[in-house]
Chains A and B, each alone.
Chain A
Amino acid sequence: MDHRPQAWGRPRDDVYGAYDASYMQTNGPNQHTQSPVVTGTSVVAIKFKDGVVMAADNLASYGSLARFTDVKRIRTFADTSIVGFGGDVSDMQYLDRHLTELSIDEAYQQTAHTLNARSLHKYLSKLLYHRRSKFDPLWNHLLVAGLDEEGKPFLAAADLLGTTFSSPSLATGFGSMLAQPIMRRYVPDEESVANLTRDKAVEVVRECMKVLFYRDARSLDSYSLAVVTKDGIELSENEKLEKQSWAFADRIKGYGTQTV
């Protein structure tokens, strides 16, 4: 029998045969996440004169299956900023824990200031870029909203490649095609932000969520809506789409089992 310490606690070779170490190796290169698994769809956000409105539905899909219907995809940071997550939900949870750690670290300081939305966006985009450079991306498209160091509304996006983008209105996923054109009617440029009221911005975002629910098969009619201003964050996680009209669906032809 083998009495060397390395063999302690292992199956005995004389009973089970020598251990086949080839099981310990993989053939070929290391593989990281190649595609997302459980996913969230669009996040939409629009700046208004005093802040930013953001919305995302509460669905996490497993492929085409509507798997989890109460998943909250907007999180707050230090009562001053919000982050909306599109893409992989487990990576979102990883980022969520990461942000929790960051906000705890920031609260160590006794002085009142903390990371503003612009710094937070910078940090997240660096993190995403770092991961994509390791060929192990966090499969998310994020919107970060809040106020910048001058107290002006801030809104910017960062994606799984580390690409950053900023605009008076932003949307991820299907939203970038379906919601952006609607929002751009109200805030085509930075100047027009000053003319948009909070109520109007909320109305526009709600309208966008409705359009997305009509057109995006991976969306849900229950959603979260957040408004961030200098007074803080109002986050409601149980919004429902109202006054839906599916009359138009009747006239859509050319898909599914329809033959005419």
Chain B
Amino acid sequence: MTSIGTGYDLANSIFSPDGRNFQVEYAVKAVENGGTSVGIRCKDGVVLAVEKVITSKLLKPGANKRIATVDRHLGVVYSGMVPDGTHFVDRARDEARAWRETFKTPISTSDLASRMGGYLQAYTLYQSVRPFGITAIVGGFDSELEAPVDGEVGSGPSVGAGGKVEGKKHGGPGLYMIEPSGMYWGYYGAATGKGRQAAKAELEKLNLAEGTLDLKQAVKEAARIIYVAQQDNKDKEFELEMSWISGADGPTKGRHQEVPKDLLEEAERLAKKALSEDDDEEEEEKGDDKMEE
């Protein structure tokens, strides 16, 4: 950042001569200091996970949730400045509500990502505001029914005009990551925050594009990845928080929910085990090195 001090970084929405918006880049810095967030999209759902660093012993354990529900089928997790995150969540909820009011049907994950991408982008346009100091991961499961209409009271014609089209596939899992610039992409596996590099490396190993991983495995992988990403920061205690979304026939019945306690504990146990095995291997390698010396 050689351009610091040239004055082009003192206000939002200002381009530097080489075409950069420094305030957005600085907002990204705030994200990079935050606890790691991870999202995995697998064949039958989406898992969200976050590392919550415990800043004080006085915090109530298990409270202060960081993964938020936006609509029944949508969840959001974020890294960076937590109050900015709650602002993001509030807006996302408003968007989901407005969509339902207009179209009488739940907003799709991709539409929500688009709306929120637009919202964040607008905060890079004006000197009177600052960009969001968060990167958000939005996960959802769009209904596989043809047209789930809110307030529908009858079943309507079963086939034919106004009826259902047989054999057509709708909906499915969706995962998007939105950055302070407003840029967003769809992902199979997304990671942000302090441990994003290590997390991304682990996500790539899962070959998520193949669509073989199922939801329960994804929960365990997400837990393990958070533990791996936390390795460089070992001295800080943390809490793992996870949520998941399946289709209507899966464990959450199309809803965004916290991962049940027993599954979470099992995932954490396996994650710790995987880590200690890695450590052992490293120890062995080190031992070998020494002997060679």
Note whether A and B contact each other (Cβ less than 8 A): yes
Interface residues in A56-86 by Cβ distance below 8 A to B read: 60, 68, 70-73
Q: Is the CB of B71 within 8 A of A92?
A: no
Instruction: Give the chain A neighbours of B63 by CB distance below 8 A.
Output: 110
Using CB atoms, name the residue of chain B closest to A111. B63
- How far is B152's CA from A96's CA once the two chains are assembled, in angstroms? 9
Q: For B104, what are the chain A residues with a Cβ–Cβ distance below 8 Å?
A: 97
With a cutoff of 8 Å between Cβ atoms, the chain B residues found around residue A107 in the complex are 69, 72
Which residue on A lies nearest to B150, using beta carbons? A97
* B151/A108 in contact, CB under 8 A: no
Indicate if B93 sits at the interface (CB-CB under 8 A).
yes
For B152-182 the 0/1 string (1 means CB < 8 A from A) is: 1111000000000000000000000000000
Residue numbers in B under 8 Å from A94 (CB-CB): 151
Within 8 A of A (CB), among B48-105: 63, 65, 68-69, 71-72, 93, 96-97, 100-101, 104
Q: Are A101 and B151 in contact (CB under 8 A)?
A: no
Q: How far is the CB of A72 from chain B (nearest CB, A)?
A: 5
A100 touches B151 (CB 8 A): yes
Chain B, residues 140-156, CB within 8 Å of chain A (1/0): the string is 00000000001111110
CB neighbours of A110 from chain B (8 A): 63, 65
Kindly list chain B residues whose C-beta atoms are within 8 Å of the C-beta of A73.
153
* Interfacial chain A residues near B155, Cβ < 8 Å: 70
Q: Which of A60, A68, A70, A93 contacts B151 (CB 8 A)?
A: A93
A194 within 8 Å of B (CB atoms)? no
A80 to chain B, nearest CB (A): 16
**A89 at the A/B interface (Cβ < 8 Å)?**
yes
Tell me the bound Cα distance from A100 to B155 in angstroms: 18
Given A107-B72, A108-B68, are A100 and B150 neighbors across the interface (CB < 8 Å)? yes
The reply on A104 being an interface residue by CB < 8 A is yes
Beyond A104-B71, A104-B72, whether A97 also contacts B100 by CB under 8 A is: yes
Chain A: how many interface residues by the 8 Å CB criterion? 19
Residues of A with C-beta under 8 A to B151: 93-94, 96-97, 100
Return B214 CB to nearest CB of chain A, in Å: 26
CA A56 to CA B100, docked complex, whole Å = 27
Please state if B93 and A100 are interface contacts (CB–CB under 8 Å).
no
Say how far B245's CB is from chain A's closest CB, in angstroms.
13
Looking at B93, B153, B154, which has the most chain A CB atoms within 10 Å of its CB? B153
CA–CA, A73 and B152, complex, Å:
11
Asked if B154 and A70 make an inter-chain contact with CB atoms under 8 angstroms apart, the answer reads yes
Q: What separation, in Å, do the CA atoms of A105 and B65 have in the docked complex?
A: 16
A93 to B154, CA, bound (A): 11
- Could you say which residues of chain B place their CB within 8 Å of the CB of A108? 68-69, 93
Q: Measured between alpha carbons, how far is A96 from B93 in the docked complex, in Å?
A: 19
Q: How far is the CA of A246 from the CA of B116 in the complex (A)?
A: 62
The smallest C-beta distance from A90 to any residue of chain B, in angstroms, reads 9
CB-CB < 8 A to A92: which residues of B?
153
Nearest-neighbor residue (CB-CB) of B63 within chain A: A110
A residues lining the B interface (CB < 8 Å) = 60, 68, 70-73, 89, 92-94, 96-97, 100-101, 104-105, 107-108, 110
Known contacts A68-B154, A96-B153, A104-B97, then 18 further A-B pairs from the complex at CB < 8 Å, ordered by chain A residue: A60-B153, A71-B153, A71-B154, A72-B154, A73-B153, A89-B153, A93-B152, A93-B153, A94-B151, A96-B151, A97-B104, A97-B150, A97-B151, A104-B96, A105-B93, A107-B69, A108-B68, A108-B93
24 contacts between A and B (CB under 8 A): A68-B154, A70-B154, A70-B155, A71-B154, A72-B153, A72-B154, A73-B153, A89-B153, A92-B153, A93-B152, A97-B100, A97-B101, A97-B104, A97-B151, A100-B150, A100-B151, A101-B97, A101-B100, A104-B71, A104-B72, A104-B97, A107-B72, A108-B93, A110-B65
Q: Which 3 A-B pairs have the closest CB atoms?
A: A93-B151, A97-B151, A110-B65
